[in-house]
Amino acid sequence: MEYTGIEIWFVTGAQLLYGGDAVVAVDAHSTAIVAGLNQSGQLPLQVVYKGTVNSSAEVEATLKEANNNKRCAGIITWMHTFSPAKMWIKGLQNYRKPLLHLHTQFNREIPWSEIDMDFMNLNQSAHGDREFGHIVSRMHKNRKVVVGHWADPNVQARIAVWMRVCAAWADAQDMILVRFGDNMNQVAVTDGDRLEAELRLGYHVDYYGIGDLAEVQKTVTEANIDSLVDEYETLYTLADNCRKGTAHYEQIRHAARIEIALRRFLKEKGAKAFTTNFNALHDLNQLPGLACQRLMAEGYGFGAEGDWKTAALMRTMWVMAKGLPGGTSFLEDYTYHFNGEKSAILQAHMLEVSPEITAQKPRLEVHPLGIGGKADPARLVFTAHPGAGWAATIVDMGNRFRMIANKVEVIEPEAALPKLPVASALWIPQPNLEIGAAAWIWAGGTHHTSFSYALTHEFLEDYADIAGIELLAIDEHTTLAGFKTELKLNEVYYLLNK
């Protein structure tokens, strides 16, 4: 299992109308389905069968228990027989965790020569699940609906996606995000309502002065730094002027000191994400570049210039993608390459891009940085590997949070970039730059994104549904006319559904 400490509950709806034999059969079928799901090897979380619910009191008790149980990250429901849905009202009114409605049945095929009315009455998910669907829709409860036979790998893959999102959602509910300094300068799009973020998305944002981190630097010993620099030498190709005895070796050691202090600080606070601010560095020797890159690769969410929403989203996307190939990183739209249908955006940042997204051995280099007024910072330099992925952001529209997500195709640069002193990724936003960038701008998206090769639209859709936030997805099917209509319709929808 990819995640520890959490599990998904499986609750079967039925009723007592069909007698004791039916209840026993429903229970046996449910047990077999749950065992089959767990043995499939397709799911990142354990499924725990919580029995059959046959009454309003049983539904309410089970869903209350799910709310209160720390291990439970979500519930899968399935109506084996007709489960009159009035009995789900009280339970669903209070249920606060993710919900997946698995619309399946125990047998894959109709047993043509055997089928009789007893079989029909026992295996009636086709209408039992419709009754359940009605009350969930009537109550305006978001949930994922997965249709198909439970042993079908495609069905299991869709459950697996939802489970990963459940894990990330659970992770966000006790996320502490450390913010060194405020949002930078007068930047609008990276700011927002932190109180609403905690109410709606779960994570808590805490301010710390950079002096608090500078104090922790004093606890870092020369021996601590020696061993981390040894690690750098193993993992990366050090530039000639960064090796021991050369001009920038001390800058590498300063970077190591900052990294150790930052990791200690975050651990001490129990933080899962953080932001930095290059205008507020005080007793730090350099802007933390290398430290941010390496902490991102360990799973810490990161946002530059005080961008706490992107930092939290990056952590969430990293948890969703845990163990999957590809990598996840903070990125920024930097420079365009106009070239017809191949027009692309060079993604980078001043320093902070996660080495998770490259197949290369990163180079460790030190170069001057014109901003921040500090010494030359260390950074890992590399190019992201080719492949499809999704870049996402969350912006605060005043009356709601909006997630904007764009499918992108990372491509190899046409030529080497020998003078670019930072990590980068070159991508073509789908369906192309003209439509992708225009839609993004109309939606009010950030210049910062959280990007992952491992995730698809389905992950982000599941997340937006669980969080109850708006999602605007831009992909190969997007047209500008359709997108503008969606923006207008959403304005009305979110005005009416506060």
Listed in sequence order, the residues at least 6 apart from 467 whose beta carbon sits closer than 8 Å to its beta carbon are 169, 200, 201, 401
Closer CB to Mn ion, 187 or 397, in the complex: 187
Closer CB to Mn ion, 238 or 391, in the complex: 391
Amino acid at 269: K
Closer CB to Mn ion, 8 or 304, in the complex: 304
Closer CB to Mn ion, 305 or 356, in the complex: 305
Question: How buried is 268 (Cβ within 10 angstroms: 0-12 exposed, 13-18 middle, 19+ buried)?
Answer: exposed
| CA–CA distance, 195 with 42 (Å, rounded to integer) | 37
Q: State the minimum distance, in angstroms, from the CB of residue 308 to Mn ion.
A: 13
Q: State the minimum distance, in angstroms, from the CB of residue 448 to Mn ion.
A: 6
| CA–CA distance, 9 with 180 (Å, rounded to integer) | 39
Q: State the minimum distance, in angstroms, from the CB of residue 276 to Mn ion.
A: 10
Beta bridge partners of 102: 146
Task: Tell me if 448 sits within 8 A of 313, measured CB to CB.
Answer: no
Closer CB to Mn ion, 303 or 436, in the complex: 303
Closer CB to Mn ion, 323 or 373, in the complex: 373
Closer CB to Mn ion, 7 or 332, in the complex: 332
Q: State the minimum distance, in angstroms, from the CB of residue 307 to Mn ion.
A: 7
H helices, E strands: number in the chain: 15, 19
Q: State the minimum distance, in angstroms, from the CB of residue 187 to Mn ion.
A: 8
The gap from C-alpha 245 to its chain's centroid, in whole angstroms, comes to: 43
Listed in sequence order, the residues at least 6 apart from 46 whose beta carbon sits closer than 8 Å to its beta carbon are 1, 7, 8, 38
Closer CB to Mn ion, 145 or 187, in the complex: 187
| CA–CA distance, 311 with 177 (Å, rounded to integer) | 8
Q: State the minimum distance, in angstroms, from the CB of residue 349 to Mn ion.
A: 6
Q: State the minimum distance, in angstroms, from the CB of residue 11 to Mn ion.
A: 45
Phi first, then psi: give them for residue 62, nearest 5 degrees: -70, -45
Task: Tell me if 384 sits within 8 A of 455, measured CB to CB.
Answer: no
Q: State the minimum distance, in angstroms, from the CB of residue 350 to Mn ion.
A: 7
Closest to 57 (Cα-Cα) out of 26, 89, 25 = 89
Closer CB to Mn ion, 205 or 229, in the complex: 205
| CA–CA distance, 88 with 144 (Å, rounded to integer) | 17
**CA atoms in the 13 A half-sphere facing the CB of 92:** 23
Residues near Mn ion (CB under 5 A) are 304-305, 332
Closer CB to Mn ion, 352 or 470, in the complex: 352
311 φ/ψ sector (left φ>0, alpha ψ -120 to 50, else beta) = alpha
Distance set, CA 110 to CA 34, 105, 113, 434 (Å): 21, 11, 9, 50
Q: State the minimum distance, in angstroms, from the CB of residue 353 to Mn ion.
A: 11
Q: State the minimum distance, in angstroms, from the CB of residue 304 to Mn ion.
A: 5
